[in-house]
Structure 1
Amino acid sequence: MSTVASSSPPATPAPAPSEISADNPASSPSEIPTGSPASARPRRALDWRVRFGVLSLIWGFSFLLIKVGTEGYAPFQVTLGRLAFGTAVLAVAMAVKRERLPRGLRTWGHIAVAALLLNSLPFSLFAFSEQTIPSTLAGICNATSPLWGMALSLVALSEDRPTRRRVAGLGIGFLGVLTVLGVWQGFHGLDLAGTAMALLASLSYPVGWIYLRRTLAGTGHSNLSLSGAQLLMATVQLAVVTPLFTTLPAHLPVVPLLAIVALGALGTGLAFLIQYGLVAEIGPTTAQMVTYFIPVIATAAGVALLGESLTWSTPIGAVIVLAGAALTQSRARTPRRSAQP
């Protein structure tokens, strides 16, 4: 789930701010050309499939790490730590590549809004939600981001035209959401407040992507520069808010603290760098497929490592959600014309 300004679509924990339309949840502030020949693409030490798998695992386990972190620290503290360690990783990457932060008050104003919508708000909502709902459910709720993104882009972005395929995908996806929520059983055993916060967090991502597309696309700044600034601004926001609502615990629980470090350094910092490299090498369409592995890994991790239980409606609803999300982002095949003599 990318949550910083990259060039690939959502998703999470979080899908990526570069995915600024639901199709490409895409136009990032600094787009990476993906139509160049394979020989022109950067060569990597690790095969892209290995890095794709690592990225799926990192983001899939993020919901487990959030759950563990909230067992020892307040939700705002978890979010602040996550942002601080994620910012540190990107700061090192920027120093190595000699990237500079963007300049200009107007640009930083837009970055502040993007940081709120793509980092501060959704990260905090997920942390609060996992106090009352299992990490498996939070991971599945995160998978609804492409659905929200498609619905919003059809309204807010004139270039995204509704098609039968997209409308059908939205309908199927939201049917899956209702199945996950267990509406047929009267929401039995479901914490509505926690689930609502997780769904709002998932909605916040595409709102942020659309805002980013309207305000910062084409500014000439690199993805790394904008993402570093975005995480830095989000860290400042949480540094202001957290002391107002929390106090430091009498002792510092080690395991939750390590979970927060991993959540920030891996799930927020390193994950962006991996995703950025994947988009540059294989393009956003293939890179965005990571979205569909996140809820599967989140569910497996929650059940196997945290002992969370599942009702029949949760995995079935998750499959329906993913099918709907995949349908909204697929394109109808156009017949190829035969070459003219």
Structure 2
Amino acid sequence: MIKSPTRQFLPLIAFCSLGIIWGSNFIFMKWAADYLTPTQIVFWRVLFGFVPIALYAVATGALKWVHIRLAKHFFVMSLLATSVYFFGFAKGTSLLLSGVAGALSGAIPLFAFIAAIAFLPEENRSVRKSFGVMIGFAGVLIIANPFGSDLAATNLEGVAYMALGALSVGSSFVYARKYLSAHKIAPVALATYQLGFGLVTLALLTDFTVPDAFWSDQRAAVGLVIGLGLLGTGCAYIIYYFIVGTLGAVAASAVTYIPPVVALLIGVFLVGEPIQLSSYFATALIFVGVFLLKGSKPQPDRGPKPSSSDGAS
């Protein structure tokens, strides 16, 4: 049976679309940060992202009552892969240029590898991977520019929060692998649980007083509700699972190369951010580091993994 051209290229279209969606998240966070606190940004993002994910999970029959016995693990995942992760990125983006923040998001696999080395004895500690981590973190250090004279342009605090978010979501992959992989939970179900638990936690910590000026700013409001929530969180997870199911988990993880580039392009050409040449060089170093990590041990796995999306931002 010959596939139609549209169906044949659908995974590729989905792959590129996901990279663009995730790459645009940083400018949406930047606009929202003019009116909202990072915690508020994260709460509304998770709320509007949870709805399509939950509906999709129910429609596909992925949610099971038996999963309730793993509630404590879902709660931990909600902290690592949702609340702390999104908060770190929202806070970091509010302090940095959106393009720079997007570039730093490319370091997520580096932090995932560090966490794996620390908590998974079976993790391959090859020279190539270690070299990749050093190169990648050299890129992060260049962006941080700790010895520069103008810390307002490249804010160390912002870099630290981005690193916190990357470390948190990177650790979530290790946690899911150690405590949830054996249970063979559908990824969309795990995403539903972690977003749901995260929503409850954030509801206890969030100030719901939103300035009227925020809703009056259509760019900021639409960016948060549609860009970050429905597209950047809800639809992005669904698209990711589709890519995993059609192209495989390893191929799907390559989408992490796209968001930093998209974020940089948006920052420079659409917003006019004064991004320095060193940031482009640093981004290239991060890419090389991630490539050395992912290219060292191919895994012909075509099944979905029970962890949150790799590189989701």
- TM interval, shorter chain, is 0.7 to 0.9
Q: Tell whether 2:271 aligns with 1:306.
A: yes
**Counterpart for residue 307 of structure 2:** none
Deviation at 1:278, TM superposition (A): 0.8
**Counterpart for residue 311 of structure 2:** none
Structure 1 distance, partners of 2:178, 2:149, is 40
Q: Show the 5 A alignment for 1:125-274.
A: 125-183=88-146, 185=148, 188=151, 189-243=153-207, 247-251=209-213, 252-253=215-216, 254-261=218-225, 262-274=227-239
Q: Quick one: structure 1 residues 44 and 275, their matched pair in 2 at CA, closer, same or farther if it must change by over 3 Å?
A: farther
Residue identity matched to 1:248: V
Q: Tell whether 2:70 aligns with 1:107.
A: yes
Structure 1 distance, partners of 2:276, 2:34, is 24
Q: Quick one: structure 1 residues 101 and 304, their matched pair in 2 at CA, closer, same or farther if it must change by over 3 Å?
A: farther
Q: Tell whether 2:81 aligns with 1:81.
A: no
- Output one character per residue of 1:109-161: Cα deviation in whole Å (capped at 9) or x when no partner: 11011001111111112112222211111111111111111122122111112
Structure 1 distance, partners of 2:62, 2:154, is 46
Residue identity matched to 2:190: L
Q: Show the 5 A alignment for 1:309-324.
A: 309-324=274-289
Structure 2 distance, partners of 1:86, 1:321, is 28
Structure 1 distance, partners of 2:145, 2:184, is 46
Deviation at 1:285, TM superposition (A): 1.6
Q: Quick one: structure 1 residues 324 and 67, their matched pair in 2 at CA, closer, same or farther if it must change by over 3 Å?
A: same
Pairwise CA RMSD of aligned residues?
2.2
Deviation at 1:106, TM superposition (A): 4.1
Q: TM-score, normalised by structure 1?
A: 0.80
- Output one character per residue of 1:219-262: Cα deviation in whole Å (capped at 9) or x when no partner: 2432221211111111111111103xx63324523321211112
Structure 2 distance, partners of 1:220, 1:233, is 20
Q: Count the aligned residue pairs.
A: 291
Higher alpha-carbon deviation: 152-161 or 186-195: 186-195
2:27 aligned residue (58, 64, 88): 64
**Counterpart for residue 26 of structure 1:** none
Corresponding residue SS for 2:185: coil
Mind listing any 5+ residue stretches in structure 2 that lack a counterpart?
Answer: 299-313
Structure 2 distance, partners of 1:214, 1:109, is 14
Deviation at 1:199, TM superposition (A): 1.2
Corresponding residue SS for 1:185: coil
Higher helix share: 2
Mind listing any 5+ residue stretches in structure 1 that lack a counterpart?
Answer: 1-38, 334-341
Structure 2 distance, partners of 1:226, 1:328, is 25
Kept in 1: contact 2:49–2:229 (CA 8 A): yes
Shift >6 Å, 4+ stretches: none
Q: Quick one: structure 1 residues 291 and 85, their matched pair in 2 at CA, closer, same or farther if it must change by over 3 Å?
A: same
Q: Tell whether 2:18 aligns with 1:55.
A: yes
Structure 1 distance, partners of 2:196, 2:96, is 29
Structure 1 distance, partners of 2:118, 2:38, is 33
Deviation at 1:289, TM superposition (A): 1.0
Higher alpha-carbon deviation: 126-135 or 264-273: 126-135
Q: Quick one: structure 1 residues 116 and 332, their matched pair in 2 at CA, closer, same or farther if it must change by over 3 Å?
A: closer
Q: Quick one: structure 1 residues 249 and 103, their matched pair in 2 at CA, closer, same or farther if it must change by over 3 Å?
A: farther
- Taking every aligned residue pair, what percent have the same amino acid on both sides? 29
Residue identity matched to 2:231: L
- Output one character per residue of 1:70-125: Cα deviation in whole Å (capped at 9) or x when no partner: 22322211111110111101122123223325546541111011001111111112
